[in-house]
Amino acid sequence: MLYSIILACTFDGGIGYNNRIPWDIKDELFLFRQITGNKDQFKQNVIIMGRKTWDSLPRKPLKDRINIIITSDKNFINEDNVLSFDNIVSAFEYCERTVNINKVFVIGGKSIYDLCLNNEKYSRNIENIYLSIIYRYYYCNLFVNLKYILTNFKCDHETIIFHPQFLHMRMTKN
């Protein structure tokens, strides 16, 4: 099953500080909603995230998408448009066997990104990486391997968005 990763980071790969995104850039969040939001009335998009990412969301669930949380908590609440699995394999299997799924996006956090990028079993199924690089320096203590992404994926130049606060691009496998 093909899926996409969407992430925003600093020039050095910083994605968070103490399990929070250190920047608040409205246009970048709008872009996130545009990409992960659903445009097909008969199918739904899925966003997959770790529990810490879920906990950090100010409003949840993220509407108009199926929210899948990877957590070891067996008592995690499953409700409308919110599902939990104890591993990413089960989440991907659910997406494969569910007919009304349009697109699947991995939205973080660090451990989920690392698993998808650093494990050949998962990285070979990445269709796109939607990457926003934040121009300004922010202190971070959570990082992704940006060098790996820039080395193993190429920019689709037709998708580049230059914004005063960030650069956004869609990347595909080399």
Confidence of residue 158 (pLDDT cuts 50, 70, 90): confident
Which structural domain range is residue 127 located in? 3-173
- pLDDT value of position 76: 87
Q: Please tell me the distance from the alpha carbon of residue 95 to that of residue 102, in angstroms, as a whole number.
A: 9
User: Helix, strand, or coil here: 139?
Assistant: coil
CATH number at residue 148: 3.40.430.10
- pLDDT above 90 coverage of the chain, percent: 87
Q: Please tell me the distance from the alpha carbon of residue 118 to that of residue 110, in angstroms, as a whole number.
A: 12
Q: Please tell me the distance from the alpha carbon of residue 122 to that of residue 166, in angstroms, as a whole number.
A: 28
Total domains in the fold of the chain: 1
pLDDT at residue 47 is higher than 90: yes
Q: Please tell me the distance from the alpha carbon of residue 45 to that of residue 34, in angstroms, as a whole number.
A: 12
pLDDT at residue 39 is higher than 90: no
Identify the H or E element spanning 45: strand 44-50
- What six digits make up the tokens of 91? 């989440």
Per-residue pLDDT tens over the stretch 96-148: 999 899 999 999 999 999 999 999 999 999 999 999 999 999 999 999 999 99
- pLDDT value of position 95: 97
- What is this structure's pTM? 0.95
pLDDT at residue 59 is higher than 90: no
Q: Please tell me the distance from the alpha carbon of residue 48 to that of residue 172, in angstroms, as a whole number.
A: 19
Mean pLDDT (the chain) is: 95
